[in-house]
Amino acid sequence: MTCCIIEKLKRIQSEKQIKVDECFAVTPVFLINQEGEHFIASGISNGELFQTCYFKVISVNELRKCVVLELLVPCCMKTLCANKVLYRSDSRILIDISFFCGIGEVKIPVYDYLILKPSIKDKFEICFLTNENKTGVLWNNESNFANTATVTLHHKDTKNSSIKIILQTKENIYSLGVNKGESCSITVKDLECLKIESSKRKSKGQIDVQLNHIIKSIKYF
Protein backbone atom coordinates (compact mmCIF):
# COMPACT_ATOMS: atom_id res chain seq x y z
CA MET A 1 0.00 0.00 0.00
CA THR A 2 2.87 2.37 0.80
CA CYS A 3 4.26 1.98 -2.71
CA CYS A 4 0.85 2.74 -4.24
CA ILE A 5 0.55 5.92 -2.17
CA ILE A 6 4.08 6.98 -3.13
CA GLU A 7 3.35 6.47 -6.84
CA LYS A 8 0.15 8.47 -6.62
CA LEU A 9 1.89 11.30 -4.79
CA LYS A 10 4.64 11.37 -7.43
CA ARG A 11 2.05 11.58 -10.19
CA ILE A 12 0.21 14.42 -8.48
CA GLN A 13 3.44 16.31 -7.83
CA SER A 14 4.48 16.06 -11.48
CA GLU A 15 1.22 17.56 -12.74
CA LYS A 16 1.70 20.95 -14.35
CA GLN A 17 0.34 23.82 -12.25
CA ILE A 18 -1.76 26.29 -14.19
CA LYS A 19 -2.85 29.55 -12.57
CA VAL A 20 -6.17 31.01 -13.72
CA ASP A 21 -7.63 34.12 -12.01
CA GLU A 22 -5.51 33.61 -8.88
CA CYS A 23 -6.69 29.99 -8.68
CA PHE A 24 -4.16 27.18 -8.97
CA ALA A 25 -5.17 24.08 -10.92
CA VAL A 26 -3.54 21.83 -8.34
CA THR A 27 -4.93 18.64 -6.90
CA PRO A 28 -5.52 18.77 -3.14
CA VAL A 29 -5.06 15.40 -1.46
CA PHE A 30 -6.07 13.80 1.83
CA LEU A 31 -4.56 10.82 3.62
CA ILE A 32 -6.23 8.00 5.55
CA ASN A 33 -4.47 6.76 8.68
CA GLN A 34 -4.34 3.19 9.97
CA GLU A 35 -7.52 3.78 12.01
CA GLY A 36 -9.38 4.51 8.76
CA GLU A 37 -9.78 8.22 9.53
CA HIS A 38 -8.66 11.40 7.80
CA PHE A 39 -5.18 12.54 8.78
CA ILE A 40 -5.52 16.01 10.31
CA ALA A 41 -2.66 18.49 10.70
CA SER A 42 -2.52 21.82 12.52
CA GLY A 43 -0.98 25.06 11.32
CA ILE A 44 -0.96 28.77 12.13
CA SER A 45 -2.39 31.40 9.78
CA ASN A 46 -2.08 35.09 10.72
CA GLY A 47 -1.62 34.10 14.33
CA GLU A 48 -4.72 31.89 14.30
CA LEU A 49 -4.57 28.13 14.72
CA PHE A 50 -6.29 26.06 12.03
CA GLN A 51 -6.71 22.37 11.27
CA THR A 52 -6.99 20.76 7.88
CA CYS A 53 -7.07 17.41 6.18
CA TYR A 54 -6.22 18.89 2.75
CA PHE A 55 -2.69 19.15 1.43
CA LYS A 56 -0.65 20.14 -1.61
CA VAL A 57 2.22 17.82 -2.54
CA ILE A 58 5.55 19.69 -2.43
CA SER A 59 8.12 16.90 -2.75
CA VAL A 60 8.33 13.11 -2.54
CA ASN A 61 11.31 11.07 -1.30
CA GLU A 62 10.66 7.60 -2.63
CA LEU A 63 13.76 6.09 -1.00
CA ARG A 64 12.87 7.22 2.52
CA LYS A 65 9.13 6.87 1.92
CA CYS A 66 8.39 10.37 3.12
CA VAL A 67 6.69 13.41 1.62
CA VAL A 68 6.60 17.16 2.25
CA LEU A 69 3.07 18.56 2.22
CA GLU A 70 1.77 22.13 2.27
CA LEU A 71 -1.24 22.63 4.53
CA LEU A 72 -4.22 24.07 2.65
CA VAL A 73 -6.49 26.31 4.71
CA PRO A 74 -10.25 25.62 4.45
CA CYS A 75 -12.16 28.84 3.74
CA CYS A 76 -14.44 28.27 6.72
CA MET A 77 -11.43 27.45 8.97
CA LYS A 78 -13.01 24.06 9.65
CA THR A 79 -11.19 20.77 9.12
CA LEU A 80 -13.60 19.48 6.48
CA CYS A 81 -14.24 22.24 3.96
CA ALA A 82 -17.98 22.81 3.58
CA ASN A 83 -17.78 25.71 1.11
CA LYS A 84 -15.29 23.96 -1.17
CA VAL A 85 -12.57 26.61 -1.34
CA LEU A 86 -8.99 26.21 -0.11
CA TYR A 87 -6.14 28.70 0.38
CA ARG A 88 -2.40 28.17 0.29
CA SER A 89 -0.38 28.69 3.47
CA ASP A 90 3.23 28.87 4.66
CA SER A 91 2.76 25.78 6.85
CA ARG A 92 4.47 22.58 5.71
CA ILE A 93 5.01 19.17 7.27
CA LEU A 94 7.20 16.13 6.64
CA ILE A 95 5.42 12.80 7.09
CA ASP A 96 6.28 9.11 6.85
CA ILE A 97 3.97 7.45 4.32
CA SER A 98 4.34 4.04 5.94
CA PHE A 99 1.95 5.18 8.69
CA PHE A 100 -0.90 5.60 6.19
CA CYS A 101 -3.11 3.15 4.36
CA GLY A 102 -4.97 5.34 1.87
CA ILE A 103 -4.93 8.52 -0.20
CA GLY A 104 -7.60 10.49 -2.03
CA GLU A 105 -7.92 13.48 -4.35
CA VAL A 106 -10.52 16.24 -4.23
CA LYS A 107 -11.64 18.76 -6.82
CA ILE A 108 -11.55 21.92 -4.73
CA PRO A 109 -10.12 25.19 -6.13
CA VAL A 110 -6.96 26.45 -4.42
CA TYR A 111 -6.31 30.21 -4.19
CA ASP A 112 -3.29 32.29 -3.21
CA TYR A 113 -5.35 34.69 -1.10
CA LEU A 114 -8.83 35.81 -0.12
CA ILE A 115 -10.23 39.09 -1.44
CA LEU A 116 -12.31 40.87 1.19
CA LYS A 117 -14.87 43.48 0.09
CA PRO A 118 -16.69 44.78 3.17
CA SER A 119 -19.25 47.50 2.46
CA ILE A 120 -19.72 50.66 4.56
CA LYS A 121 -23.16 52.21 4.10
CA ASP A 122 -23.69 55.97 4.20
CA LYS A 123 -27.04 57.68 3.80
CA PHE A 124 -27.65 61.42 3.51
CA GLU A 125 -29.88 64.03 1.88
CA ILE A 126 -29.18 67.35 0.20
CA CYS A 127 -31.78 70.12 0.04
CA PHE A 128 -31.11 72.79 -2.55
CA LEU A 129 -32.47 75.72 -4.51
CA THR A 130 -31.77 75.99 -8.22
CA ASN A 131 -30.12 79.13 -9.55
CA GLU A 132 -30.90 80.97 -12.76
CA ASN A 133 -28.14 80.67 -15.35
CA LYS A 134 -25.76 79.03 -12.91
CA THR A 135 -24.59 75.42 -12.52
CA GLY A 136 -23.45 74.44 -9.04
CA VAL A 137 -21.66 71.53 -7.37
CA LEU A 138 -23.77 69.94 -4.62
CA TRP A 139 -21.42 67.15 -3.50
CA ASN A 140 -17.95 65.76 -4.16
CA ASN A 141 -16.75 62.32 -3.15
CA GLU A 142 -13.71 62.69 -0.89
CA SER A 143 -13.07 58.96 -0.54
CA ASN A 144 -10.72 56.90 -2.70
CA PHE A 145 -12.72 53.71 -2.16
CA ALA A 146 -14.93 52.22 -4.86
CA ASN A 147 -18.65 52.73 -4.31
CA THR A 148 -22.14 52.14 -5.58
CA ALA A 149 -24.69 54.90 -5.13
CA THR A 150 -28.46 55.15 -5.42
CA VAL A 151 -29.50 58.76 -6.00
CA THR A 152 -33.14 59.88 -5.76
CA LEU A 153 -34.16 63.34 -6.96
CA HIS A 154 -37.37 64.94 -5.57
CA HIS A 155 -39.16 68.05 -6.85
CA LYS A 156 -40.09 69.97 -3.68
CA ASP A 157 -41.53 73.19 -5.12
CA THR A 158 -45.11 74.30 -5.76
CA LYS A 159 -44.17 75.95 -9.03
CA ASN A 160 -44.46 74.21 -12.40
CA SER A 161 -40.77 73.86 -13.14
CA SER A 162 -38.14 71.33 -14.09
CA ILE A 163 -35.12 70.32 -12.03
CA LYS A 164 -32.13 68.53 -13.49
CA ILE A 165 -28.98 67.19 -11.84
CA ILE A 166 -25.80 65.73 -13.26
CA LEU A 167 -24.10 62.64 -11.83
CA GLN A 168 -20.43 62.28 -12.67
CA THR A 169 -18.86 58.86 -12.16
CA LYS A 170 -15.36 57.59 -12.80
CA GLU A 171 -16.27 56.55 -16.35
CA ASN A 172 -19.58 58.20 -17.32
CA ILE A 173 -21.86 61.20 -16.89
CA TYR A 174 -25.59 60.74 -16.21
CA SER A 175 -28.47 63.19 -15.95
CA LEU A 176 -31.61 62.96 -13.84
CA GLY A 177 -34.62 65.25 -14.29
CA VAL A 178 -38.01 65.74 -12.63
CA ASN A 179 -41.02 68.02 -12.97
CA LYS A 180 -43.44 69.26 -10.31
CA GLY A 181 -44.59 66.46 -7.99
CA GLU A 182 -42.16 63.90 -9.41
CA SER A 183 -39.33 61.79 -8.03
CA CYS A 184 -36.77 59.74 -9.93
CA SER A 185 -33.93 57.37 -8.96
CA ILE A 186 -30.78 55.98 -10.52
CA THR A 187 -28.06 53.61 -9.28
CA VAL A 188 -24.50 54.15 -10.50
CA LYS A 189 -21.02 52.81 -9.82
CA ASP A 190 -18.13 54.96 -8.54
CA LEU A 191 -20.01 58.23 -8.06
CA GLU A 192 -17.62 61.18 -7.86
CA CYS A 193 -19.70 64.34 -8.10
CA LEU A 194 -23.27 65.69 -8.03
CA LYS A 195 -24.07 68.91 -9.89
CA ILE A 196 -27.25 70.90 -10.35
CA GLU A 197 -28.04 72.48 -13.71
CA SER A 198 -29.23 76.04 -14.06
CA SER A 199 -32.96 76.62 -14.54
CA LYS A 200 -35.26 79.37 -15.80
CA ARG A 201 -36.67 79.93 -12.33
CA LYS A 202 -35.63 79.15 -8.78
CA SER A 203 -37.04 75.84 -7.55
CA LYS A 204 -36.67 73.75 -4.41
CA GLY A 205 -35.39 70.21 -4.68
CA GLN A 206 -34.02 67.39 -2.58
CA ILE A 207 -31.55 64.60 -3.28
CA ASP A 208 -31.46 61.39 -1.24
CA VAL A 209 -28.19 59.49 -1.54
CA GLN A 210 -27.49 55.94 -0.37
CA LEU A 211 -23.76 55.38 -0.74
CA ASN A 212 -22.07 52.01 -0.28
CA HIS A 213 -18.28 52.27 0.04
CA ILE A 214 -16.50 49.05 -0.96
CA ILE A 215 -13.18 48.63 0.84
CA LYS A 216 -11.12 46.01 -0.96
CA SER A 217 -8.35 44.20 0.92
CA ILE A 218 -6.34 40.99 0.47
CA LYS A 219 -5.85 38.35 3.15
CA TYR A 220 -3.02 35.84 2.88
CA PHE A 221 -2.95 32.60 4.84
- Phi/psi region, residue 94 (left: phi>0; alpha: psi -120 to 50; beta: rest), is beta
Are 97 and 182 within one domain?
Answer: no
The partner residues of 146 in beta bridges, in order of sequence, read 214
The string of pLDDT tens digits covering residues 146-171 is: 899 999 999 999 888 899 999 999 99
Q: Check residue 119 and give its pLDDT.
A: 82
Higher pLDDT, 5 or 123: 123
* Domain end among 63, 89, 111: 111
Are 104 and 20 within one domain?
Answer: yes
Are 20 and 100 within one domain?
Answer: yes
Percent of the chain residues topping a pLDDT of 90: 45
* Domain end among 88, 111, 134: 111
Higher pLDDT, 44 or 25: 44
Q: Which pLDDT band holds residue 25 (cuts at 50, 70, 90)?
A: low
Are 74 and 140 within one domain?
Answer: no
Q: Is the pTM of the predicted complex or chain greater than 0.85? A: no
Mean of pLDDT values over 12-18: 68
Q: Check residue 47 and give its pLDDT.
A: 77
Q: Check residue 194 and give its pLDDT.
A: 96
Per the structure, how many domains does the chain have? 2
Output the CA–CA distances (angstroms, integers) from residue 15 to 8, 29, 84, in the order listed: 11, 13, 21
pLDDT at 178 over 90: yes
The string of pLDDT tens digits covering residues 96-137 is: 998 988 899 888 888 888 888 888 899 999 999 887 777 889
Q: Round to whole Å and give the CA distance between 45 and 197.
A: 54
Q: Check residue 120 and give its pLDDT.
A: 86
Q: Round to whole Å and give the CA distance between 134 and 80.
A: 64
Using a 10 angstrom Cβ sphere, with 0-12 exposed, 13-18 middle and 19 or more buried, the burial of residue 38 is middle
State the residue range of the domain holding 144.
Answer: 116-220
Mean of pLDDT values over 158-187: 93
Are 171 and 138 within one domain?
Answer: yes
Q: Check residue 116 and give its pLDDT.
A: 81
Q: Check residue 80 and give its pLDDT.
A: 53
Lowest mean pLDDT among 12-26, 98-112, 190-204: 12-26
Mean of pLDDT values over 18-44: 79
What CATH number has the domain bearing residue 201? Answer: 2.60.120.1540
Are 80 and 148 within one domain?
Answer: no
Q: Which pLDDT band holds residue 83 (cuts at 50, 70, 90)?
A: low
* Domain end among 78, 111, 144: 111
